[in-house]
Amino acid sequence: MSTLGIIGGLGPMATAYFMQRLTQMSDAKTDQEHMDIFVCSRPSIPDRTQYILGKSDKSPVPEMVWAGRKLKQMGADIIAIPCITAHYFHDELEKQIGIPIINAIVETAQCIEQEKIERVGLLATDGTIQSGLFQRELKRHNVQSILPSADRQREIMRIIYEEVKANKTVDMACFQNVSDELFQQGAQVILLGCTELSLVRRDFALSPGYLDVMDVLARKAVQCCNHVRKEYNRLMR
């Protein structure tokens, strides 16, 4: 089996949950049948959204490259980054580190296309939204992206940064209001396009109609390094 490396800490709880999903999705019956994983958790890596939006001159790339090279030295064959905004730097990181990095954006667009979904609502950081990461890739698969209004986007950023990352209780009424706006605009599915929002799905019973991008990333990582449990062959419910 291939060995997985994880550039983690972006944020720390999302990385811990990613590890949990890898374990749950692996078709393993003993310790020895699980995949080998190296983790480099670096919460000190500069904020990705702040840099992408030009609000900080501290690039996260050098420290992410450092982490990736450490994982490569340890024996990682492939890397996953459980931070969707960090995928803005995917090609640059892959080139400098020198081993494949799973692209959660591409994998998600392929999953959406396979499910024959045409309109997708997107919940993500300002960095992910304004960079157009998802929008461009979804368009390549003939999928329309539906974005929150400016006011609702501010609420999602508050949930991500001031609640989940700060280990505070999530305002689920606010989260539901944002989701309702996207569904009312015609979204067939809402993408949880930030790994902090994956923790909302973990902790609260969401209605059908959400696709967690962390699950897409975790499933692909397991497929690359092990065997996926059959119940995870499809992620849409």
- By the 8 A CB rule, do 63 and 45 touch? yes
Greatest alpha-carbon pair distance for the chain in Å reads 49
Cα separation, 218 vs 131, whole angstroms:
23
Cα separation, 67 vs 61, whole angstroms:
10
Paired tokens of 8: 């983690």
Which of 1, 2, 5, 64 has the alpha carbon at shortest distance from 38?
5
Count H helices and E strands in the chain, helices first. 11, 7
Coil, strand or helix: which one is 31?
Answer: helix
From the centroid of its chain, how far is CA 220? 12
Please give the helix or strand (H or E) that residue 190 lies within, else none: strand 189-192
What count of other Cβ atoms lies within 10 Å of the Cβ of residue 8?
A: 23
Q: What is the DSSP letter of 40?
A: E
Residues designated catalytic: 83, 194
